[in-house]
Amino acid sequence: MGLGQNDRGHQVSASAIWATTLLAALYLFHTAIYIWFQLPNSRGESAPAWLAYITAPTGIFLIASALWAKGRPLSQRAIDQWMGISSLVVIANVSIHYWTVGDIWISSTYALVMIVLGTAIASIRWFIVLTLVAVTAHTVGSYLIPTIDSSQMMLVIGVDAVSVSISALLFITRRAGLVNLKALRVETDQKQQTIENALALAERTSSDMQQLIDRAPDAVLILFGNVIHYANAVFLESIRLPLEDVSGKLISSLSIAGNVASSGPSRITFQRQDGESIIFQFSELTNIQHDGEDATLIIGRDITSNDAELQAKLQLADRMAAIGVLASGVAHEINNPLTYVIGNLAAMEDQQDSFTGAMSEKDRNEFLELIEESMHGAERVATIVRDLNALARSTVGETKASIEQTLSSSLRIADPHLRFSAHIVVELDSLPSVACCPSRLSQVFLNLIINAAHALRSPNGPQTTGTITIRGVRSDASTVRVEIKDTGHGMDAETQRRLFEPFYTTKAVGDGTGLGLYYCINEITQIGGDLSFTSELGVGTTFVITLPIYKAETELLPPTTNSIVLPELAILVIDDEPMVCKTIERMLEGQDITIVNDTVSAWKLMQQTSFDVIFCDLMMPGQTGHNFYVQVEQEMPQLSDHFIFITGGAFTPETMAFIEEKRDQVLQKPFQLPALQHSIEKLLLRQST
């Protein structure tokens, strides 16, 4: 069986060509010597001339075949067949020559043939066959020559043995070399294939990585020092420059503000050719190897729009904070005089007989009408002040709202927007109260209802056939869901995406600020609720408000209109407004009341006298009621549950937090007698438990 029969044999064909050429040259040489010089053999005979006709074609055949094989990528099987045929031809010709001439010197040609077989043949079977043929021809030919004696015969056998041994050794060595060569070739091919596969994989990975980086949503920069070596498509498109105008540039040469920080994230502002600025927030530097050199990788995101939105939100927050502080101050200043105005009006109403005893019937009726109108006006002012307090988030006791009441209030206010453009359908189940400020919830309803009314308008005028449906249901054990649905023109994708952005509006200039829905979603999310919507062009929009159900067991100062009979009490009133103190004294006529206008005087009295009830204003010049209570808790803790705090509004977060903590002990200005009596009753009940 041949070795490597399917392999190309150009690696071994050179030795075969060399061996064939040498064989032909020697064969022609010694034949020419015998014929040319007429050398006699052992019998004294000269070689016949006709041997040239046999030798010449054989030599020419061998040389021609060697020249033909030169440079051809022959397979090992083809080389074996070629060398086998050539060897048989030579053996046949040498045998004729040997038998004819009968000279022992021709045995060298047999030896040469056998050695050539070991250097050129790869098939072990073919090698054995050809070697046996050569040995047999040589041995048999020697026996047929009568002039060869036993000593010469032993020489022939010795030549054959040595030739076969050398040929076999060459064959074995060469075959082992071929086996190793084949194994080496296989291993080399495998390694080459592995390398090629790795290179192909690396190229694919590099290509995929390049596509991934180029298609990444963020900007990617590779820097050598502070010099840009690579920038992906996102960055180039953002700053609107080609890579050749960026590569090799210092990043600081392209920026107008900021630079790459050595540690931590970086915020860099670039300026486009059109003059527009763009802001990138870059990640912290990451050390990498790029093109065999140390480099750094940074990944950035365009935050230009976010930055503008953030600035808008901060501006809005500043405005709202300023409005809140202003509202708190205004509410506090109004509530103080409003307290004694309402108190005095209530006293005049209660004691109307004393004031109108000498009046005529007409004057008496007019007097009572004036009191009633004044009380109505004062209560309206009190409602406005409560709304101001709600705006400042300092409203006490307004964490429970009725869906029906707040919605009714919002519909009344929105009536001018609805009267000629919408048919209102209200479907409310029996709903529990929700944990929300009523005025703020009313404002949310109002904004959404007015938006729905505007959505019903057609470009050519009001749409009179539109419908706004308001549906309220209890969605689960802890939430209530209110839907406000209109049959308007709906919203496109861009409007839906930006709907809750501050200052974004689709209304004409002057018709809207773009803060209504921003206010709504902030109010609802801050109380733990949710505001969502669905919209379809030409069909309409539905807003869904999810609100948490109110779960508090007690309310702060629940409304009551019935007077309460109180026991005789020692009461201390601490307030910097003398008129408020006088109003409380008048309302609680018959009780033992002591009035002071500052906490220093109150502290001295409390050390000398025992008081059952202590009314203390929270916002006073000097020491506030909050700080005064902290002092009492530390030094006279037995009196800490004797306090009722009265307030017209809170300015600071600390005071607002204190009001929330002591909400059962807080009385909101302005108040009337039933609320005042109820606060004392609750205090006494708390003391007795």
For the segment 220-239, what is each residue's pLDDT rounded down to a tens digit? 888 888 888 888 878 888 78
With CA atoms as reference, report the closest residue to 9 among 131, 181, 193, 168. Answer: 181
Query: Is the predicted pLDDT of residue 560 greater than 50, yes or no?
Result: no
Q: Quickly name the fold that domain 570-688 has.
A: Rossmann fold (3.40.50)
274: helix, strand or coil? coil
Range ranked top by mean pLDDT from 92-101, 163-172, 335-344, 428-437: 428-437
Buried b or exposed e, range 458-490, using 16+ CB within 10 angstroms: eeeeebeebebbbbbeeeeeebbbbebbbbbbb
Q: What is the mean pLDDT of the chain?
A: 76
Query: Is the predicted pLDDT of residue 169 greater than 60, yes or no?
Result: yes
Q: pLDDT digits over 155-166, tens only? A: 778 888 888 888
Residue 643's DSSP bridge partners are: 614
Query: Is the predicted pLDDT of residue 556 greater than 50, yes or no?
Result: no
Q: What pLDDT shows up at residue 307?
A: 54
Identify whether the C-beta of residue 480 lies closer than 8 Å to the C-beta of residue 434: yes
Query: Is the predicted pLDDT of residue 507 greater than 90, yes or no?
Result: no
Q: What pLDDT shows up at residue 31?
A: 66
With CA atoms as reference, report the closest residue to 535 among 602, 567, 592, 489. Answer: 489
Task: Take residue 292 and report the two structure tokens written for it.
Answer: 């065999």
Range ranked top by mean pLDDT from 322-326, 327-331, 349-353: 349-353
Query: Is the predicted pLDDT of residue 667 greater than 50, yes or no?
Result: yes
Where residue 213 falls among pLDDT bands split at 50, 70, 90?
Answer: low
Q: Half-sphere exposure of 331 toward its Cβ, with a 13 Å CA cutoff?
A: 30
Q: What pLDDT shows up at residue 1?
A: 36
Identify whether the C-beta of residue 389 lies closer than 8 Å to the C-beta of residue 331: yes
Give the residue-averaged pLDDT of 541-570.
69
Contacts of 51 (CB under 8 A, 6+ apart): 31, 34, 35, 96, 97, 100, 101
Helix (H) or strand (E) holding 416: helix 403-418
Where residue 185 falls among pLDDT bands split at 50, 70, 90?
Answer: confident
What pTM was computed for the model? 0.41
CA dist., res. 291 & res. 203, Å (int): 14
Q: What pLDDT shows up at residue 459?
A: 55
Query: Is the predicted pLDDT of residue 384 greater than 70, yes or no?
Result: no
CATH class, 216-304 region:
alpha beta
CA dist., res. 180 & res. 545, Å (int): 83
141: helix, strand or coil? helix
Structure-model confidence comparison of residues 392 and 474, the more confident one: 474
Where residue 605 falls among pLDDT bands split at 50, 70, 90?
Answer: very high
User: Which amino acid, residue 88?
Assistant: L
Q: pLDDT digits over 422-475, tens only? A: 888 898 888 888 888 787 788 888 888 888 888 887 655 544 568 889 999 988
User: Which amino acid, residue 328?
Assistant: S
Contacts of 36 (CB under 8 A, 6+ apart): none
CATH class, 403-548 region:
alpha beta
CA dist., res. 266 & res. 281, Å (int): 6
Range ranked top by mean pLDDT from 273-287, 292-306, 580-594: 580-594
| Domain limits, the chain | 10-188, 216-304, 314-391, 403-548, 570-688
Residue 647's DSSP bridge partners are: 668
Identify whether the C-beta of residue 331 lies closer than 8 Å to the C-beta of residue 306: no
Residue 533's DSSP bridge partners are: 543
Q: pLDDT digits over 39-75, tens only? A: 555 555 555 655 555 666 766 776 776 677 666 666 7
10 Å Cβ neighbour count for 493? Answer: 9
